Structure 1
């Protein structure tokens, strides 16, 4: 089966937040159980990839993405299973490789790693890392992870992690090399790094106009070509918040309250102004960063994104705050059965 022009999938942080409608909070166990159903459905409706972002907060149930994805490996057949992201700065690269090589074996070669810094810092004190070494840790751990995936036996010496002297790292992945994407919030330094390394790039586009990321995509491709990499292998993915229902109006009505609630929680931590319906409505417009609406409208926005950025993969982040499980399943169903066929036909 040939690879589609654009891969379409789901990303999630496994939100276990307070439901603004009921005032009740979902348990982590229940959210994990819901995730199993979501991944099975995503596979059944023909989506290409499902990603789970690592977080270490009370309002998310996603501190161990590899374990969650491994649970789905036995009950899915085709969908690729990836972190979105692995917080590599505060993770041991040896263990990261082992976890995802194990997932790769269990899934028959469907595992991927999306390596990034993450948007939260809870993992640093939790695992005993200093934020003073924020950039150094990422650089060092990324170098080691790439070295491990290239060679069964590893010799390595760095500043922040004990050295390794010609030791084997097992199990080995089915895919050689195990796919590693670089996740970026949009800094020029990170996209240049990805290009120079010849690694695929995943951009988080959660605000503003997605078209404004076009110069970063160009910068990434130029860096990759200058470093001697095949331009056909310089792949770009985007990750954006959104939601689907049978009509634009219903999708917005369902998605706004939990999104507002969670954005205000994060906003209070980061000093953002309150999240308003006017901001939400603007982001839902054709050139905005939210992909919220009925299938035809969301498909139109993805096609426009592809036109502006030339992306190879699109992640719809479902959901930002806690939503009824049946509504989430319906959104996944619509993405796979309605949106993906429209987009693929238009881009043939």
Structure 2
């Protein structure tokens, strides 16, 4: 089972100073985080694409490429690429370039995006939300399958028998489907035989079991071997030396950012400490605690959903860089070994 980090490169107000984090500084910190994650034995680091003032990750491939030459083993992925508002040719080129720099460690996680700022920014109509993703995913998969491609669709200029370069080191370049829990996304990924990543940021992770089954059933109907499919989850969380330290450090920045999002989306209730504490219970969706407790929750996730990869999303709101580095260190040196040893015992 792979364990890694995902981030949106938050650049929200630092609650200790009241000032927003500088985007350039956050980008440099991200490179430090990736290098450390590689050094402590984590398997993957993902950067999400957003086009807002409170996140610095509008170009994940560039951030990942900055760290690629300084790392040796860790896989480097978007988390996610908002494919609906991007050009699949440029997406492939960016990540095949990253694949070359990293010598075969790049991945694309393609999604429609839970934030919509990129649509007006790049001139797309939200009425075409689903159609855009389906068409652009089809083109992206055609490009990764063949050096030269002919294409005609409804949302991009046509081209005839043109090559797309550079080609990736990996053949094919890994493409995941990212889903927030949409059944149609699970079926689409299964039919295509693509790995899937579920964002589980609320409720109980075990409630995603029907979606996992739907994904595997769709794959089997399409002739793919469900046993070979990869399933990832992405959940918010934080690791400290003690559970109390982790909870106290993570709550206020998380509350601040969740309330910003809640106001934008019209949530009826503000994010409270009671909500937070309930979510970090054993069956909840927050992975906040000391290494032993976070490992216990990941093992339970494996038992309930059969996941092959787990992303701990650090951070939700701005936190001190030293604390983030410590969380990454603990995830790699303490949590991951506990999980791997226990799964080897249970499944070996």
Query: TM-score normalised to the size of structure 1?
Result: 0.98
Q: How does 1:45-194 map to 2 (within 5 A)?
A: 45-194=40-189
Aligned residues: 343
Whole-angstrom distance in 2 between the partners of 1:196 and 1:332: 35
1:337 matched residue in structure 2: 333
Q: Does 1:296 align with 2:292?
A: yes
1:258 matched residue in structure 2: 253
Give CA-to-partner distance per residue, 1:245-293, whole Å, 9 cap, x none: 0000000000000000000011110011200000000001000000000
Whole-angstrom distance in 2 between the partners of 1:41 and 1:346: 24
Whole-angstrom distance in 1 between the partners of 2:156 and 2:225: 32
2:311 matched residue in structure 1: 315
Q: How does 1:250-289 map to 2 (within 5 A)?
A: 250-272=245-267, 273-289=269-285
Asked whether the 8 Å contact 1:198–1:233 carries over to 2, the reply is no
Give CA-to-partner distance per residue, 1:135-155, whole Å, 9 cap, x none: 110000000000000000001
Whole-angstrom distance in 2 between the partners of 1:90 and 1:216: 26
Aligned with residue 196 of structure 2, among 187, 197, 201: 201
Once the two structures are TM-superposed, the CA of residue 309 in structure 1 deviates from its matched residue by 0.1
Once the two structures are TM-superposed, the CA of residue 328 in structure 1 deviates from its matched residue by 0.2
Whole-angstrom distance in 2 between the partners of 1:90 and 1:185: 18
Unaligned runs of 5+ in 1: 1-5
Give CA-to-partner distance per residue, 1:303-345, whole Å, 9 cap, x none: 0000000000000000000000000000000000000000000
Asked whether the 8 Å contact 1:14–1:60 carries over to 2, the reply is yes
Whole-angstrom distance in 2 between the partners of 1:205 and 1:221: 18
Describe the SS at the equivalent of 1:24: coil
Give CA-to-partner distance per residue, 1:48-98, whole Å, 9 cap, x none: 000000000000000000000000101000000000000000000000000
Describe the SS at the equivalent of 2:49: coil
Asked whether the 8 Å contact 1:15–1:319 carries over to 2, the reply is yes
Provide the aligned C-alpha RMSD in A: 0.5
Once the two structures are TM-superposed, the CA of residue 20 in structure 1 deviates from its matched residue by 1.8
1:221 matched residue in structure 2: 216
Describe the SS at the equivalent of 2:288: strand
Whole-angstrom distance in 2 between the partners of 1:268 and 1:20: 19
Describe the SS at the equivalent of 1:347: helix
Unaligned runs of 5+ in 2: none
Whole-angstrom distance in 2 between the partners of 1:89 and 1:281: 35
Asked whether the 8 Å contact 1:88–1:142 carries over to 2, the reply is yes
Describe the SS at the equivalent of 2:89: helix
Aligned with residue 7 of structure 2, among 3, 7, 12: 12
1:3 matched residue in structure 2: none
Once the two structures are TM-superposed, the CA of residue 232 in structure 1 deviates from its matched residue by 2.7
Give CA-to-partner distance per residue, 1:19-41, whole Å, 9 cap, x none: 12221211000000100110000
Describe the SS at the equivalent of 2:176: strand
Describe the SS at the equivalent of 1:166: strand
